[in-house]
Structure 1
Amino acid sequence: MIRRLAEQLGVHHEALRNWIRQAEADADERHDRPTSEMAEENRRLRREITELRRAGLCETPQSSSSSVYTRWAREAGSQAQEPICKRCRISETGAP
């Protein structure tokens, strides 16, 4: 059915399938992917962290051998939420 509809719309069937899945996630009908709003927030936070790293206000995991990130990484199996940015206090999950 999706293949036939995709042909009628002139799009690839997997593109249509992904659009349907995303619409279901946005309608809170499925929980195996982030909503569009959550995905946009994640992109915004990644850009913000990148800018902070460029400005030297946020450490990168590779350059922080004895930093807070190392302590967080050691406890990765636990619910550790220690910040990776010393000044801005942003954790790996994006939580302050």
Structure 2
Amino acid sequence: MICEVRASSWLIAHVAKDLGIHKEALRGWVRRGEADRGERDGRLTSAEQDALRQLHKEAAELRQANEILKAASVLLPRRRRSTVPDAAEQAMDRLCDRGLGVGPRLPGP
């Protein structure tokens, strides 16, 4: 069909009518063929459109996975650093309170 349009001097509307299809469908196919052959600037080729479609699909899947992970993270306990000193620090504090002088060692003679 596209070859008929390119080979003839007929308008797309006339060729489409002879073929029994809508003129805009034929016009789209002609433009697609021109883009694929590099004859039309500003339009993606079929291969580029397929790649773009695949990237959009992957991005949607990643967004969905991210939402699932966000929802799951709410169910998991959070590990955060406690403001309460750990057991070793508490023990050292108790010894210091009893006057046992536990603290950093100074270099001696």
- Give the TM-score normalised by the residue count of structure 1: 0.56
Higher relative contact order (CA 8 A, sep 6+): 1
1:56 paired residue number: 66
Selected match of 1:31 from 38, 41, 65: 41
Selected match of 2:15 from 5, 10, 14: 5
- The 5-angstrom pairing of residues 58-77 of structure 1 reads none
> If each structure's helix is expressed as a fraction of its own residues, which one has the higher value?
2
- Give the TM-score normalised by the residue count of structure 2: 0.50
The size of the alignment, in residue pairs, is 57
User: Which sections of structure 1, spanning at least 5 residues, go unmatched?
Assistant: 58-96
Shift of 1:47: 0.3
1:80 paired residue number: none
Selected match of 1:20 from 5, 19, 30: 30
Structure (1 or 2) with the larger CA radius of gyration: 2
User: Which sections of structure 2, spanning at least 5 residues, go unmatched?
Assistant: 1-10, 68-109
* Identity in percent: 46
Q: How large is the Cα RMSD of the aligned pairs?
A: 1.2
Matched residue SS, 2:66: coil
Q: Can you list the C-alpha shifts for 1:42-96, whole angstroms capped at 9, x where unaligned?
A: 0000000100110018xxxxxxxxxxxxxxxxxxxxxxxxxxxxxxxxxxxxxxx
Selected match of 2:56 from 46, 60, 66: 46
